[in-house]
């Protein structure tokens, strides 16, 4: 399954690492309109990363997204608790370097611990703890390009602020008139809730947890990979007032997701009681996946 034609990255974490190259500073004011830096990043990207985006951009069609939503959003795969899902995700082993790449559970704990250290509310900490659990899609043999990668709206004109925008020319939707008007199959300011994003771990997990967490936590989970919107401010014409407020939260969350990586190792056993208690405040013992 890994390092095959379908899975060019050594590990799915390689995508997250790439984000740090594209967005080395957490200072949001430095990012907007810096197109040169953005295109420099594309030129310098490694072949495996280019190949990853080529697959993602080619195959994330409206039809593909509809098919995956139908396949997964019934949540009929299994029942498990949140901590159990963290351990399940931790089984994800790939060709990454164990000296460099953290176990998945540690990225979740690092994110949550950084949020906790800043005295943020419980639900914010919990959003950090669970935000990448959707990556269990990899354990069900979904290819890397259908689990991670920047997400973007499908069914309307692609924004040039999507990384490797030109690669979208290989997507059959590129030539579909209906999908290439400014609003495509949507209406102006219809709200992101009515917009289909490319399929991946964000949308899947949003549906798993949507009955249990407050709206800002759900926005963080659902949109944290949508860099074209939360970092590049594209697709304003689809957004409503609620989305703009939600994006503030997503941006705050992104600081913890991106910039806490590899700071320090986590003592999983020592942290477990605190987090089991926090999980129990919001979630039943088992939820549907």
The residues that touch Fe ion, with contacts defined as CB under 5 A, are 132, 257
Least CB distance to Fe ion at residue 111 (A): 6
132 vs 232 by CB, closer to Fe ion: 132
Shortest Å, Cβ 62 to Fe ion? 23
In the complex, minimum distance from the CB of residue 283 to Fe ion, in angstroms, rounded to a whole number: 19
Minimum separation from the CB atom of position 96 to Fe ion (A):
15
Residue 101 vs 132, nearer CB to Fe ion:
132
Q: What's the farthest any 2 CA atoms get from each other in the chain?
A: 56
Among residues 57, 108, 67, 83, the alpha carbon closest in space to that of 282 is found at: 83
- Closest distance between Fe ion and the C-beta of residue 5, in Å? 24
Question: How far lies 92's CA from each of 105, 160, 194, 262, in Å?
Answer: 10, 33, 32, 18
Q: Which is nearer to Fe ion, 62 or 205 (CB)?
A: 205
What is the sign of the dihedral through the CA atoms of 12, 15, 18 and 19? negative
* 243 vs 257 by CB, closer to Fe ion: 257
Structure tokens at 223: 């949109």
Q: In the structure encoding, which two tokens stand for residue 214, read together?
A: 């407050």
For residue 129, the minimal CB distance to Fe ion (Å) is 11
| Residues forming beta bridges with residue 197, ordered by sequence position | 153
Whether 237 contacts 188, CB under 8 Å: yes
Smallest gap from Cβ 166 to Fe ion, in A, equals 25
Sole residue written with tokens 């390689």: 14
- Going by C-alpha positions, the residue among 144, 132, 126 that lies closest to residue 48 is 144
As measured in angstroms, the least distance from the Cβ of 205 to Fe ion is: 9
Question: Quick one: 18 or 257, whose CB is closer to Fe ion?
Answer: 257
Residue 132 or 243 with smaller CB distance to Fe ion: 132
142 vs 173, which CB is nearer to Fe ion? 142
Instruction: Report the alpha-carbon distance of residue 197 to residue 212 in Å, rounded.
Output: 22
189 dihedral zone (left: phi>0; alpha: psi -120 to 50; beta): left
Contact by Cβ (8 Å): 38, 166: no
User: Which CB sits closer to Fe ion, 128 or 184?
Assistant: 128
CB neighbours of residue 169 within 10 Å: 11
Question: Structure tokens of 32?
Answer: 């907007």
In the chain, % helix, strand, coil (3-state, to 5) comes to: 55, 0, 40
Residues comprising the chain, all counted: 289
Rounded to 10°, the helix 35-44/13-22 angle is: 140
């Amino acid at each position: 399954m890994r390092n095959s034609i379908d899975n060019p990255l050594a590990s799915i974490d390689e995508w997250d690492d790439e984000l740090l190259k594209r967005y080395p500073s957490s200072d949001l004011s430095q990012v907007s309109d810096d197109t040169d830096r953005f295109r420099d990043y594309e030129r310098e990207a490694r072949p495996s990363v280019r190949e990853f985006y080529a697959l993602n951009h080619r195959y994330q069609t409206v039809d593909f997204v509809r098919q995956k939503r139908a396949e997964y959003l019934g949540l009929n795969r299994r029942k498990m608790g949140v901590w159990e899902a963290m351990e399940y995700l931790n089984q994800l082993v790939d060709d990454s370097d164990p000296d460099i790449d953290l176990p998945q559970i540690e990225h979740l704990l690092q994110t949550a611990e950084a949020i906790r250290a800043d005295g943020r509310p419980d639900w914010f900490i919990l959003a950090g703890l669970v935000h990448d659990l959707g990556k269990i899609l990899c354990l069900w043999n979904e290819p890397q390009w259908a689990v991670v990668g920047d997400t973007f709206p499908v069914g309307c004109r692609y924004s040039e602020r999507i990384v490797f925008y030109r690669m979208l020319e290989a997507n059959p939707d590129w030539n579909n008139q209906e999908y290439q008007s400014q609003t495509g199959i949507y209406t102006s300011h219809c709200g992101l809730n009515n917009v289909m994003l490319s399929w991946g771990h964000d949308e899947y997990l949003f549906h798993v947890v949507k009955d249990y967490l407050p709206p800002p936590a759900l926005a963080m989970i659902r949109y944290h990979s949508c860099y074209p919107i939360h970092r590049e401010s594209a697709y304003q014409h689809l957004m409503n007032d609620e989305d703009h407020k939600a994006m503030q939260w997503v941006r705050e969350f992104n600081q913890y997701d991106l910039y806490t990586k590899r700071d320090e190792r986590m003592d999983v056993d020592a942290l477990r009681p605190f987090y089991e208690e926090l999980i129990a405040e919001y979630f039943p013992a088992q939820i549907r996946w």
